[in-house]
Amino acid sequence: MIEAKNVTKRYGTALVVDDVSLRLPVGGITSIIGPNGAGKSTLLSMISRVLPMSSGNVLVDGLDVVTTPGDVLAKRLAILRQDNHLTSRLTVRELVTFGRYPHSKGRPTVKDQEHVERAIQHMGLEALSARFLDELSGGQRQRAFVAMVLCQDTDYVLLDEPLNGLDLKHAVSMMKQLRTAADTLGKSFVLVLHDLNFASCYSDHLIAMRDGKVAFQGRSEDIMRPDVLRAVYDLEIAIQHINGDWIATHYR
């Protein structure tokens, strides 16, 4: 279980994440939603120790992320951030293989190679595996990064806007793959999503943030309500119940 206690991030006088305490459920998909500047990405980065906290602490399976050795945590928790600009020219396969680093320490075994192949297949990257990242489109690159993170084979996977730059087909297939991984392998995903309907259709648990605080959390039917979403987004959002899913229609 991931547990955040009084997590705060301050830049000068600006409070970006304001005293957030959370328990993220084990297993399944948890999605963090909310308007720009609500502190979603900052919170995710602090939980995954890539950004230092101003105060508070985070426990992953009881391990404090600040004091636990990095290589121990790297086998339990993986993160993909939003802005993944690489200056290095690596091939897709090389990048994905680096996802095995916490296990292989740079000397991939046959088992590591199997993980790599599986991740490449999962993300539909077979045909692109020998290509350099700078020769791919943004969406293809995004899939390669997700493959790398999945290859790390951790219990907790944190993805900041994994659908960034993906077309409809690949967005759906990405969410389906995360769903399958959660259901069959028992992994826990924490996502930051901008698309409300993807969040609603695929998540077990939704967390709505606003102004650095957790405003609401619960199951899709608890969050996908006009009154809740108005309080989060300052926008009238009608909700339809279609084929068992709660769908927001906010386009007009």
Q: How far apart are CA 185 and CA 66, in angstroms?
A: 27
List, in order, residues 6 or more apart from 93 with CB less than 8 Å away.
116, 120, 129, 130
Min dist CB 29 to another protein, Å, is: 19
Tokens found for residue 207: 């967390």
Q: Which of 141, 113, 111, 110 is nearest to 125 (CA)?
A: 141
CB closer to another protein, 89 vs 176: 89
Min dist CB 2 to another protein, Å, is: 15
Min dist CB 248 to another protein, Å, is: 31
DSSP assignment, residue 128? G
List, in order, residues 6 or more apart from 77 with CB less than 8 Å away.
2, 48, 60, 65, 154, 155, 156, 157, 158
CB closer to another protein, 12 vs 70: 70
**What sign does the dihedral 210-165-191-252 (CA atoms) show?**
positive
CB closer to another protein, 47 vs 199: 47
Min dist CB 205 to another protein, Å, is: 23
Min dist CB 152 to another protein, Å, is: 7
CB closer to another protein, 75 vs 230: 75
CB closer to another protein, 31 vs 152: 152
Binding site for another protein (CB under 8 A): 45, 48-50, 69-75, 78-81, 84, 86-91, 94, 98-99, 101-102, 105-106, 132, 134, 149, 152
DSSP assignment, residue 87? -
